[in-house]
Structure 1
Amino acid sequence: MKLLRSLFLLLLVLVLIGVVVAWTLPADLALRWLKPNLGPLQLSGVSGTVWQGRASSAVAFGTPLGALDWSVQKSPLLLRRVVARVGLGGGALVLDGDVTRDADGSVLVQNTTFALPAEIAAPALDIPALKLHGRIEGRIDEARLANGWVSGARGSARWREAAVSGQAEASLGELLADFASQPDGSIAGTVKDDGSSNLEVAGQFVISSGQFSATARLVARNGDMQVAEALRYVGEPQPDGSSLLKISGQLFKLF
């Protein structure tokens, strides 16, 4: 009995030590174990603990993103779920939201806001004659990443103080977009202007299997000559004076 009691006490002490180590595990040590599973994400300048920490530099697909902060809940781990609040700032991309990794390996993103300079979207729009100005802000209400693809996505975005310069200059007001997953697994959305500028925009886009395509009809309101001049470099001129913009490409072309 004395031996059994000693073994029990030893086991209890080891469990307590394990709990303390896990509770205070340095983030940089955990990163060494997790690094093979981070894919294109690279972190440096890591401090804090695995539960609440910070990386002074985050890079994805070779693009610097800024500093990454995280806070992980402990109790969901008992159900093999990782629930965290993640924030990204100090760089071109600003992001803040909730991320959950379920036991099946899928990742759920919820209540996430983001903001980035419009010029980052220039490679996707592929209009070399014009430089994009303003800032794109948006919200992802929900999106699940599983088996390399996104499902159940819902969200919206707004291009604030939209403008172009280069071979033509024009103020475009604010452009609005909404998107949601479709029954066939694609993500579809609409784009329109808010009516505050002399550019009328009406379009739609689809993202499917890592590819995106979009079409939009652009019209200069109120005979605005600056906007009409800018539209000469955007899309295909139409008989009614509008311009039809068609773009397509790979989703990760943005990176």
Structure 2
Amino acid sequence: MKLFKWLFALLILIVVIAGAVAWTLPADVAYRYVATRLGPISLVGVRGTVWSGHADGVSVFGRDLGELDWQVEKLPLFARRVHADLRIRGADIVTSGLVERDADGRITAHDVRFRVPASLMSPVLDVPSLKLLGTITGTFAKVSLYEGLISDANGTARWSEAGVTGTAEARFSDILADFASKPDGSIAGTVADDGKGNLEVNGQFRMTAAGFEVEAFLAARNDDPRVQDALRYVGQPQPDGSSHLVITGQLFKLF
């Protein structure tokens, strides 16, 4: 009987030690174990714990996004769920949001807010003679990912202080976008100007895991000569003086 008592006491001690180690596990130690499973995501300067930590740099496909901070709630883990508050701060990129992973593998993000320079979208537009100016900000109120399909997504975005520089110079009013997920797992939305400037925009877009499609009609409101000049380098000219812009591509171009 004493042997069983000693074994039981030893088992309890092991559980307590294992729990204490897990509760205070250094983030850099944990990262070494999972780094190979993060795919294109890599971290540098990892410190803190797995529950509350910081990385001096996070990159995706080799593109540096900035510093990463995270807070992970402990209690949901007992139900095999992960709740984390993630924040990325870079020189020109800022994003934050709450991320949950359920026991069935579904990942859901809430209140995701982002701010990126419009120049980040230049590879998508693929007009080397023009550089995009301004800042794009937006919010995903919610988005879920399960077995490769996106669902429950909805949000908005705004291109502020919009403009182009390069072969042509022009400033536009803010460009607005609304988007939501579709039953096939894609995200679709509309894009339009706010009506306060001299660039008129009306379009729609669709994004999938395979790529994206954008179609828009652009026109110079009030016959603005700078906007008319800029539109000569974007899309196909139309008989009424507008430009028909069609873009298709791969999302990895952003990185």
1:199 aligns with 2:211: no
Q: 1:127: how far off?
A: 1.7
Q: 1:90: how far off?
A: 2.4
How many Å separate the matches in 2 of 1:126 and 1:149? 28
1:222 aligns with 2:228: no
Contact 1:64–1:91 at 8 Å: present in 2 too? no
How many Å separate the matches in 1 of 2:89 and 2:59? 12
- Consecutive unaligned residues in structure 1, runs of 5 or more: none
Letter in structure 2 aligned against 1:19 = G
1:136 aligns with 2:136: yes
Q: Counterpart in 2 of 1:51?
A: 51
Contact 2:151–2:183 at 8 Å: present in 1 too? no
Q: Counterpart in 2 of 1:165?
A: 165
Contact 1:86–1:99 at 8 Å: present in 2 too? yes
Identity %: 54
How many Å separate the matches in 2 of 1:122 and 1:190? 19
Range moving further from structure 2, 72-81 or 101-110:
101-110
How many Å separate the matches in 2 of 1:198 and 1:38? 45
Contact 2:203–2:217 at 8 Å: present in 1 too? yes
Letter in structure 2 aligned against 1:191 = V
Q: Counterpart in 1 of 2:156?
A: 156
- Consecutive unaligned residues in structure 2, runs of 5 or more: none
1:189-240: per-residue Cα shift (whole Å, max 9, x none)? 0000111211111100111342211111111111211111111111111111
Range moving further from structure 2, 5-14 or 118-127:
5-14
Q: 1:12: how far off?
A: 2.2
**TM-score of the aligned structures, taking structure 1 as reference length:** 0.95
Q: Equivalent residues in 2 for 1:45-194 (5 A)?
A: 45-194=45-194
Range moving further from structure 2, 31-40 or 115-124:
31-40
Range moving further from structure 2, 89-98 or 128-137:
89-98
Matched residue count: 255
**TM-score of the aligned structures, taking structure 2 as reference length:** 0.95
Range moving further from structure 2, 125-134 or 12-21:
12-21
